[in-house]
Structure 1
Amino acid sequence: MTYLLGSHHVTLSVGGAQEDVDFHTQVLGMRFIKKTVLYDGSSPVYHLYYSNAHGDPSSVITTFPWAQAGLYGTRGTNQAREVLLAVPANSLDFWAQRLAQHNIAATQSEIFGERRISFLHPSGIEYQLVGVVGDPRQGYTGYGVPQEAAIHGIHGVGIHVFDQDRMVDFGNEVFFAQGEIWEEGDRARFRVGTDSFGNWIELTGNRTDPQGTWRYGAGTYHHFAWNLDTLANQEQVKFDIEGAGYTDISELKNRTYFKSHYVRSPGGALFELAVTHEDGGWDCDESPEELGKQFMLPTQFESERESIMSKLETISIDAKIEE
């Protein structure tokens, strides 16, 4: 039997490294848990990780700051666009005030019966804090964010698509869609996997924006990762997806902390099939208490540490931004 639990992490192409650190820690109050580099290609680019209190699968945002390399993307249709994060339902007034204190423009709305606050990452990526009830994940209480307002983790992924039906078909055929399809205005959503939180796919019908870029490039969403739990299940799911004709799928890649296949969905969004394997996890190279304190490199890059560090901007995890 093949299965999918829920979300695993979100990966974004952002602008500057320091502004990204400041945004996720000083503004959103997330925990910084890992500083490493992109494993693919030859360009040294940071890979930065943020999470809730415990680094749960379904709580992690990771970023590649591409501005230093001069690489920028285009937001558009047929592309993942919105970072949806779950917060306690009664915390939206706190977040509206906090964002205003940091001079971040935000708008409030109610979508699918959930109160939300929408705002932008400094590189332009769209974020939404979604008020939810009964989420068991524990938020991080650093940087002045109290437990009663702290971000639980991922709520889901917002994808802009030319044709919503093709993504619904994909969910129903091979990607573990659960329950009914909700529709509201130009949006439709459904849940995938067995988790009771963090696994919504929201589809916005968009036939006006140009095609969004799929490559790395500052200001764009790169991929959304799903938790397949075990390597055996992950391989069977890959086999089933390919067998259904969705053959734009990668070989297995070892990311140290997890192992992954990548599949391009018919709505353009890149999905990752991720497993935190027995030799992985965020604490496989740092203790749980010291996560994010050191610059971690995979074994194959360790001999180039000095050269790599010389090409990356210096960042401070505890740097302050103006109130």
Structure 2
Amino acid sequence: MTDIKGFHHLTVGVAGAQEDVDFYVKLLGQSLIKKTVLLDGEDPIYHLYYGNAQGDAGTLVTSFPFRQIGVKARPGSGQIRVINYSVPAGALDFWRARFESQGIPFDKEVISRFGEQRQRFYHPCGIEFDLVASDKDDRPPCESPDIPAQFAIRGVHSITLSLREVHESIIFMKDALGFDYAGEHGPYHRFQVADGTPGTVVEFLHEPDRLQGSSIYGEGTIHHVAFAVDSVEQQLALKEKLFAMGHIDTSESVDRNYFRSMYFKMPGGVMFEAATTDIGFAIDEPADQLGSQFQTPSWLTDRKEELLQRLEPISV
């Protein structure tokens, strides 16, 4: 039995902040639920959180816009390659027309994998996304005035990892994290936790000839995936389990203001995180006003205005 409930969030290194807001909010209909700063390092970098209006775990993708300081990461294996969003069955034609009308790059062919139709499209910085059509997602829609509920994104469906080797990573997913092996489709391997509904699925893409990507924060890559756990106690239990298996490159529990994080790498090199759900985004602004103001954690309160002045202005 695993304490992992599914996804908490994914974190991406992008280019400009405004084009990122436009992509998630204006194109995809997500809500900007938090504007804050990257808590690591000295240079002020936005940390922007997108998801459903409530900021529910499993709907969240977060961004670091690194164009401001010119740091680029190198895409490759040992990384998350694709973020997959869940949309209702029958919604893909709506989204293809929307991408066409807004000049968003997308693949002309809809593909099918594991019995699900998928539409590939691309973030302005080049990161790959799929829309996955599913009739098994009962999460509330991320509606906007020009996106009807019957077509709207529900949240993160799954992630696709690029791995040079898969054998030890398959063992890791099953024995360390408690995922079930759910099948194989060509070079793809599928895992699920809980009931396997959207928000609980991980895919491996076996790419033995793809060069290793970088692990740094930087523009153009998906830096890590966070899985949801209830508490620090569950983080520590997972840490002990990882240590017992020899996976000792595991962080302490780190305060991220809205949750606590513990980081670790799986054998294929992808950065994983266990993030707690016991704090939430309403600790510094009302639940019905999430994302309305720039926020900093308590230890940066005296620098709030200075940090904001050094960041790119953004509007929703």
Identify the TM-score tier after normalising by the shorter chain.
over 0.9
Corresponding letter in the other structure for 1:25: V
- Superposed CA offset, 1:172-206 (max 9, x none): 2211112x441112111111345633121111111
Instruction: Work out whether residues 5 and 195 of structure 1, in 8 Å CA contact, stay in contact via their aligned partners in 2.
Output: no
Instruction: Work out whether residues 53 and 139 of structure 1, in 8 Å CA contact, stay in contact via their aligned partners in 2.
Output: no
Distance 1:193 1:235 in 2: 21
Distance 1:36 1:111 in 2: 37
- Tell me what 2:90 maps to: 90
Distance 1:197 1:127 in 2: 15
Q: Secondary structure at the match of 2:226?
A: strand
1:11 and 2:11 are equivalent in the alignment: yes
Which of 129, 132, 148 in structure 2 is aligned with 1:130? 132
- Tell me what 2:304 maps to: 305
CA 220–142 in structure 1, closer or farther in 2 if over 3 Å, else same:
same
- Superposed CA offset, 1:250-305 (max 9, x none): 1111111111100111111111101022xx21111111111100000011111112
Distance 2:46 2:143 in 1: 25
Deviates more, 1:308-317 or 1:217-226: 308-317
TM-score (norm 1): 0.94
Instruction: Work out whether residues 84 and 130 of structure 1, in 8 Å CA contact, stay in contact via their aligned partners in 2.
Output: yes
Corresponding letter in the other structure for 2:97: Q
Corresponding letter in the other structure for 2:282: D
Distance 2:194 2:261 in 1: 17
What is the CA distance between 1:217 and its match in structure 2?
A: 0.8
Corresponding letter in the other structure for 1:281: G
Distance 1:194 1:255 in 2: 29
Distance 1:2 1:130 in 2: 26
Corresponding letter in the other structure for 2:237: Q
Report sequence identity in percent: 38
Distance 2:115 2:136 in 1: 15
Distance 1:197 1:92 in 2: 16
What is the CA distance between 1:208 and its match in structure 2?
A: 2.5
- Tell me what 2:251 maps to: 250
Count residues in correspondence.
314
1:284 and 2:283 are equivalent in the alignment: yes
- Tell me what 1:320 maps to: none
Distance 2:91 2:55 in 1: 21
- Tell me what 1:161 maps to: 163
Instruction: Work out whether residues 176 and 193 of structure 1, in 8 Å CA contact, stay in contact via their aligned partners in 2.
Output: no
- Superposed CA offset, 1:48-92 (max 9, x none): 011123221111110000011100011111211111111111111
Corresponding letter in the other structure for 1:3: D
Q: Secondary structure at the match of 2:170?
A: helix
1:33 and 2:33 are equivalent in the alignment: yes
CA 143–17 in structure 1, closer or farther in 2 if over 3 Å, else same:
farther
Which of 90, 106, 109 in structure 1 is aligned with 2:111? 109
Distance 2:196 2:185 in 1: 23
Instruction: Work out whether residues 33 and 292 of structure 1, in 8 Å CA contact, stay in contact via their aligned partners in 2.
Output: yes
- Superposed CA offset, 1:147-192 (max 9, x none): 11111111111100001112101012211112x4411121111113
CA 78–297 in structure 1, closer or farther in 2 if over 3 Å, else same:
same
TM alignment of 1:130-279, pairs within 5 A: 130-178=132-180, 180-193=181-194, 196-277=197-278
Distance 2:307 2:261 in 1: 25
Distance 1:265 1:16 in 2: 30
Corresponding letter in the other structure for 1:67: R
Instruction: Work out whether residues 160 and 202 of structure 2, in 8 Å CA contact, stay in contact via their aligned partners in 1.
Output: yes
CA 298–291 in structure 1, closer or farther in 2 if over 3 Å, else same:
same
Distance 2:214 2:297 in 1: 28
Q: Secondary structure at the match of 1:4?
A: coil
Structure 1 stretches (4+) deviating beyond 4 angstroms?
none
TM-score (norm 2): 0.96
Structure 2: unaligned runs, 5 residues or longer: none
Distance 1:155 1:304 in 2: 37
What is the CA distance between 1:2 and its match in structure 2?
A: 5.0
CA 15–134 in structure 1, closer or farther in 2 if over 3 Å, else same:
same
